[in-house]
C-alpha cells in the first residue's frame, strides 16, 4: 500500500533531536503548562513547532528579504556548533 498523503498534512510529521540546557527546558515546559489552554497548543510538540516556526520566519524576514527558505532533507552537521568565528575571536589561538 502506498502513502498518498500530501506533504503539508498535519499527519506528515517527523522527529528531531535537540539539546537544551535544563534551565531552558524547564522554563519552556513551565510556560507550556501555564499557557497551553489559552494559546491553543494541542500538545508539547505543537508548542515547540510554533516556537521553531516563529524563529524561522524571523530569520527569513531578517536574512532573506521575507522570502521562504527552500526546504531540504540534507542532514545537518552533528556535534560542532555552526558559529562562524573571525580570526579576531579571542577563543581562536593565534600562531
Q: What angle do CA 80, 84, 89 make, to 5 degrees?
A: 110
Which pLDDT score is estimated for 77? 79
In this predicted structure, what is the pLDDT of residue 95?
A: 42
Q: Which residues contact 56 (CB under 8 A, 6 or more apart)?
A: 69
The model's pLDDT over 2-57, given as tens digits with 9 standing for 90+, comes to: 445 455 556 788 999 999 999 999 999 999 999 999 999 999 999 999 999 999 99
Residues in the chain: 95
pLDDT at position 94:
45
At 46 the pLDDT is: 96
CA torsion through residues 9, 13, 48, 65, sign: negative
Over the stretch 50-72, which tens digit does the pLDDT of each residue have?
999 999 999 999 999 999 999 98
How far is 18 from 60, CA to CA, in rounded Å? 21
What is the Cα Rg of the chain in Å?
A: 18
Amino acid at each position: 500500500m502506498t502513502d498518498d498523503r500530501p506533504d503539508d498534512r498535519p499527519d506528515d510529521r517527523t522527529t528531531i533531536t535537540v539539546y537544551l540546557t535544563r534551565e531552558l527546558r524547564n522554563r519552556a515546559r513551565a510556560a507550556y503548562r501555564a499557557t497551553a489552554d489559552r494559546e491553543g497548543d494541542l500538545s508539547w510538540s505543537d508548542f515547540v513547532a510554533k516556537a521553531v516556526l516563529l524563529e524561522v520566519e524571523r530569520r527569513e524576514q531578517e536574512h532573506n528579504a521575507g522570502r521562504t527558505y527552500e526546504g531540504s532533507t540534507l542532514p545537518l552537521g552533528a556535534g560542532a556548533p555552526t558559529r562562524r568565528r573571525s580570526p579576531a575571536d579571542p577563543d581562536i589561538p593565534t600562531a
